[in-house]
Amino acid sequence: MHVLLTIFLLLLSSAGLRAEELSPAQRLEAEQLLHRLGCLGCHDFNASGANLAPSLDRIGLKLDENAIFKQLDQPPAALGSGEKFMPSYQTTPAAQRRLLSRFLANRK
C-alpha cells in the first residue's frame, strides 16, 4: 500500500502539481476529504468525478487559498442558471477546510 501511495504522490509532483507546502500525509488527507465530502459528485479531479461543476485539477490557476476557503465556508446561493449550487461546508472543521483550500490552491 505504501509503495502505491509513494508512486501516486511522485506522479502528482511530476505532473507539475505544486503542493510543496503540504506533506505527503497532508496531501493524502486532502484527497480523502474530496471523496468524503462528496466533491466528486459535481467536480472532476484526476479524471475521476463529475463535470457538473468546474474541474478541480487546475483550480489554483483561478482561485487562491482564501477564495477557495470562502467558497467552502460561504458559497454563493446560485452558480448560474439551473439548479446548480455549492453546499456549505461550515460544519466541516475549519482546519480540514483550510487544508483542502491549500491543497486545491496548489493545483496549477
Tell me the domain boundaries of the chain: 2-105
For residue range 84-101, list pLDDT tens digits in order.
Answer: 678 889 999 999 999 999
Candidates 94, 91, 90, 101; CA nearest to 22 is 101
Per-residue pLDDT, 76: 76
Whole-prediction pTM value?
Answer: 0.74
Q: Which fold has domain 2-105?
A: Cytochrome Bc1 Complex; Chain D, domain 2 (1.10.760)
Average pLDDT over residues 44-56: 91
Give the angle subtended at the CA of 41 by the CAs of 35 and 43, to the nearest 5°: 90
Q: Looking at residues 3-19, what average pLDDT do you find?
A: 45
Q: Identify the three-state secondary structure at position 3.
A: helix
* CB of 78 closer than 8 Å to CB of 84: yes
